[in-house]
Amino acid sequence: MNNKINVAVQVLPRSATKGTYELVDVAIELIQKSGLVYRVCPFETVIEGYYDEIMNLVKDIHEAVYAAGADEMITNMKIQTRNNQDVCIDDKMHKYD
């Protein structure tokens, strides 16, 4: 996959000692630091980039959220790709800004 894609990531961590939003914030902080284009939404965060870099970021998110105290995690993902064309968040959202 040589084109940019969009991946919607919803992280649902559970912990006996930490709050859900506290752990979700760990995931969002990693996304913010990634340098990738992203949009935080109420139920998920959409990330724009190349397939491998986003999947590596998802792996890093899992490791960081577990290190922050998660006991269990469900991650829901939606992936949008196009054949020979980038998928850009702004193409879908510019009229709403």
Query: Is 9:79 a contact under the CB 8 Å cutoff?
Result: no
pLDDT tens for 3-38 read: 999 999 999 999 999 999 999 999 999 999 999 999
Phi, then psi, of 73 in degrees rounded to 5: -155, 135
Instruction: Give the domain ranges of the chain.
Output: 4-96
Backbone angles phi, psi at 8, to 5 degrees: -90, 125
Taking the CA atoms of residue 51, residue 54, residue 57 and residue 59 in that order, the dihedral angle to the nearest 10 degrees is: -50
- Residue 96: predicted pLDDT: 85
Which CATH number does 4-96 carry?
A: 3.30.70.930
* 37-62 tens-digit pLDDT: 999 999 999 999 999 999 999 999 99
Q: Is the pLDDT of residue 89 over 80?
A: yes
